[in-house]
Structure 1
Amino acid sequence: MSGAALEVLRAGALTTVQDLGRPGYAHLGVPRSGALDTGAHGLANRLLGNPPEAAALETTLDGVGLRALTPVTVAVTGAPCAVRVSGRAVAWGAPVRLRAGAELEVGRAESGVRSYVAVRGGFAVPPVLGSRSTDLLSGLGPAVLSAGTKLPVGPPGPDPVSGADALRVPGAPTELVLPLRLGPRADWFEPASLAALWRAQFRVSSESNRIGLRTEAGAPLIRSRGGELPSEGMVLGAVQVPPDGLPVVFLADHPVTGGYPVVGVVPPGPPLNAAAQARPGVGVRFVRG
């Protein structure tokens, strides 16, 4: 520990600590978790010279308010938003130095859903199974942030490399296009329904969360057989089809097993990062992956 810390003044709708998660424990029933938009999370750490696995804060829609208890340097990426220090506008997507007592206000997302607040040295909350991520499904990791929470900061690493690729981060999607690799249970659906999947126009449901992106309003997938599967393993990006026929794309806090058939899998990478920033009502299309 470096002795540096920040205090939460305003927790926002849902702000959690996230790093790269805890993969490799599915056989113990432990989800992966970790930052939903790994691109934005990685950029925030690069801007500060942190290692990729450093823990940052993931906000949801309306940002967060923090007070620096010691001098620290922070960066905000992900969903674009107004960033202020003690009432003064400062840069989004760039390192910002905070004096002791300065108040950082990360505002409401102007587009997208999730912003990322990194600090040089990373947030040094106690790790659980090698990760500092909050897992909403299992309850592992630090609690969801609340006002008054004090967040310790780790020792800073080497100076950051200048010219980090802030401009390469894509904006929030106006339409979410997800490449889909069919299987393992595509044969549970009518061939005509599968063919129609590539033409279907879904929308992001307001019931989406860190566990999964739920869809609505599209043509439901029709099963070719009845009954249910025994529970089987689930992976990040699995597209499960519940009885209503509307696909659910599993995100970082997804369960490790499930009984509904998986029609296909969206590979990790930019498409799932975009899913993390897709607001309710945004159109969703699946294309052959």
Structure 2
Amino acid sequence: MAFEILEPGLATSVQDKGRLGYYNVGIPQGGAMDQLSAEMANALAGNSPEAAVLECTYLGPKFRADQDAIIAVTGAPVDIRVNGDACEQWNRLKLAAGDEVSFGVLRGGTRYYVAVQGGINVPVVLGSRSTYALGAMGGFEGRMLRAGDILPVGSADSSLATAPILRSVDESLRPAFEKEVTVRVLPGLYDHRLTEEGLETLLTATWTLTPVADRTGLRFSGPEVAWKPRTQPFGAGSDPSNIVDAGYAIGSIQIPGGKEPIVLHRDAVSGGGYAMVATVISADMDLLARSAPGTKTSFRAVTMDEALAARLEGKLVRSKLWDTSAGDGAGG
């Protein structure tokens, strides 16, 4: 089975849960920017959470199924059409051979996800099917999709054959796509380089997401953040936020020049010479990925215990999608 890409959309790529274990050699985690939405699409399609999906950014693709198929679309709100007829998002959808699927204009957020039963069956590269376009690695030929591409689809996961069918995701479990968000962060490792007023500004100001936002990082505009004066050490640049090179954690916040915070995301580089003044907790990385340019964002400091509790809460939400005691599925 395969999907023929008739129109590629703006930046459509194959993604899964990511390529873990290679960040130390400069290969980022990657994977779906909004992991929860991607997993919900897989749950509806009858896949395991690890199956590869299509990540569609702003303008989605148009594709044709060459055989009967089951798909699901989750994530940012968008109109779905099968042969021109409207269909519901967050539901299990059945396609017949020859059906054409297309999408309208986003009504919020930035990305939505298309899962197909069996998953997108591109080759596994370093443990993942995710596209890392900068490294021309993974996905479909290591790049974003183009018109004329033929995407192979895998076989249904036999281990899920007896699992309850999830026909829709309950609204209480669906992520929101809001214009004002609060993102939780752990201060450090270099927050001591900011003045007291600088750190307070970072954690109390309202920041606006700029259009400079992609899989590598998201840039925010707002007030200037003050740094403590010092003589830069040998090996560091002249910018007050420069340090001697260090490793970056996914979610690190940098403020080059003290003016525009940048949050590193799934395809970020693994190290460099900018101070990381805080790190977005793992539970809120999906929240950031859902933000559209113009989103008003506040950064709120939390403790490590609070960050770990938030991560556990997210795991509990995900577990409900595959809860075999949920009858016909959560909300289905």
TM-score by length of 2: 0.82
* Alignment equivalent of 1:202, drawn from 203, 207, 218: 207
- Separation in 2, partners of 1:248, 1:136: 20
Aligned to 1:274: 287
May I ask how many residue pairs the two structures share in their alignment? 284
| 1:136 Cα offset (Å) | 3.1
SS in 1 for 2:134: coil
| 1:244 Cα offset (Å) | 4.3
Aligned to 1:238: 252
Deviations 1:170-227 (A, max 9, x none): 22121121111100001111111112222211100101111011101x1122221353
| 1:137 Cα offset (Å) | 3.3
The structure where helix makes up a greater share of residues is 2
Aligned to 2:155: 155
Distance 1:154 1:186, change over 3 A: same
Gaps of 5+ in 2: 237-242, 303-332
- Separation in 1, partners of 2:178, 2:21: 30
Distance 1:226 1:31, change over 3 A: farther
- Separation in 1, partners of 2:134, 2:296: 26
Letter of the 1:246 partner, please give it: E
2:162 is equivalent to residue 165 of structure 1 = no
* Alignment equivalent of 1:113, drawn from 85, 110, 128: 110
Distance 1:55 1:226, change over 3 A: farther
- C-alpha contact (below 8 Å) 1:31/1:138 kept by paired residues: no
Stretches of 4+ moved more than 4 A in 1? Answer: none
Aligned to 1:104: 101
- Separation in 2, partners of 1:96, 1:151: 19
Letter of the 1:75 partner, please give it: A
- Separation in 2, partners of 1:226, 1:180: 28
TM-score by length of 1: 0.94
- C-alpha contact (below 8 Å) 1:215/1:248 kept by paired residues: yes
Equivalent residues in 2 for 1:1-289 (5 A)?
Answer: 4-142=1-139, 143-157=143-157, 158-159=160-161, 161-163=164-166, 165-167=169-171, 168-216=173-221, 218-224=222-228, 225-227=230-232, 228=236, 229-269=243-283, 271-289=284-302
Distance 1:136 1:176, change over 3 A: farther
SS in 2 for 1:45: helix
| 1:161 Cα offset (Å) | 2.8
| 1:245 Cα offset (Å) | 2.9
Letter of the 1:273 partner, please give it: D
Deviations 1:124-171 (A, max 9, x none): 011111111111333321310011111101110224633453421122
- Separation in 2, partners of 1:38, 1:65: 23
Letter of the 1:243 partner, please give it: G
- C-alpha contact (below 8 Å) 1:38/1:273 kept by paired residues: yes
SS in 2 for 1:17: strand
Letter of the 1:88 partner, please give it: D
Identity, in percent, stands at: 36
- Separation in 2, partners of 1:190, 1:140: 41
- Separation in 2, partners of 1:122, 1:197: 41
- Separation in 1, partners of 2:132, 2:126: 12
- Separation in 1, partners of 2:190, 2:152: 45
Letter of the 1:137 partner, please give it: L
Aligned to 2:327: none
Letter of the 1:115 partner, please give it: Y
| 1:104 Cα offset (Å) | 0.7
Letter of the 2:123 partner, please give it: P
Distance 1:137 1:243, change over 3 A: farther
| 1:111 Cα offset (Å) | 1.1
Q: Which has the larger radius of gyration?
A: 2
